[in-house]
């Protein structure tokens, strides 16, 4: 692929979560041991070095995405180390010319992390909401207030993130068309740039 000189797209999977959401089918490690992020980031640095040895260093990264799990599970020092490693190994685009996105769990977001991500060059965030009904949230073990979600969106916009996407799921336990309509009405009031709406898949 080096002969083509095409730009690169990078995906980083951060598998850790403090809490298990009962609808989740992602590859994940549920733990409260945030120190586990440190050796994981070290292994990512090693993997980048191994991969970079085969890639032309003049090929810029025009797409970058952090998924999970919960990418913001990483403590700020581990996140800083990871971002420094990416910059060391790959050619990043300046001035918001790339599409650099990260999935955010508002319940796992240290103060200053959004600023750190924005300063690095992230310009898109995807926030998990799923549903705003408290009974539905309890049923799927994902309790997250509207105010918390709105606060993260407000901070992201203040920092200059150019796209805010919200994740919703329809067909959740205890959810009704009427209750989901109320969720939609509240979510639209936040004026997201994008909605990702998934159907619920039951996991044994």
pLDDT tens for each residue of 57-95: 999 999 999 999 999 999 999 999 999 999 999 999 999
Q: Tens of pLDDT along 180-199?
A: 999 999 999 999 999 999 99
Q: Tens of pLDDT along 3-41?
A: 999 999 999 999 999 998 988 888 899 999 999 999 999
Confidence class for position 202, pLDDT limits 50, 70, 90? confident
Asked if residue 203 has pLDDT above 80, the reply is: no
Asked if residue 137 has pLDDT above 80, the reply is: yes
Closest to 124 (Cα-Cα) out of 147, 143, 96: 96
Per the prediction, the chain carries an average pLDDT of 95
Q: Tens of pLDDT along 86-118?
A: 999 999 999 999 999 999 999 999 999 999 999
Confidence class for position 204, pLDDT limits 50, 70, 90? low
């Amino acid at each position: 692929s080096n002969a083509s000189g095409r730009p690169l797209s990078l995906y980083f999977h951060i598998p850790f979560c403090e809490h298990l959401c009962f609808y989740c089918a992602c590859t994940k490690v549920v733990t409260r041991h945030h120190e586990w992020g440190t050796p994981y980031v070290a292994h990512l640095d090693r993997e980048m070095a191994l991969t970079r040895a085969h890639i032309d260093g003049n090929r810029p990264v025009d797409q970058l995405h952090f998924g999970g799990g919960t990418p913001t599970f990483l403590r700020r020092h581990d996140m800083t180390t990871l971002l420094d490693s990416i910059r060391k190994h790959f050619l990043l685009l300046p001035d918001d010319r790339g599409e650099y996105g990260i999935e955010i769990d508002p319940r796992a977001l240290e103060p200053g992390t959004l600023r750190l991500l924005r300063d690095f060059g992230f310009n898109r965030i995807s926030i998990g909401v799923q549903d705003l009904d408290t009974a539905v949230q309890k049923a799927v073990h994902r309790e997250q207030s509207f105010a918390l979600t709105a606060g993260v969106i407000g901070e992201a916009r203040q920092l200059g993130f150019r796209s805010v996407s919200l994740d919703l799921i329809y067909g959740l336990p205890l959810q009704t068309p009427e209750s989901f309509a109320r969720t939609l009405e509240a979510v639209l009031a936040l004026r997201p740039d994008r909605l990702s709406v998934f159907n619920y898949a039951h996991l044994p």
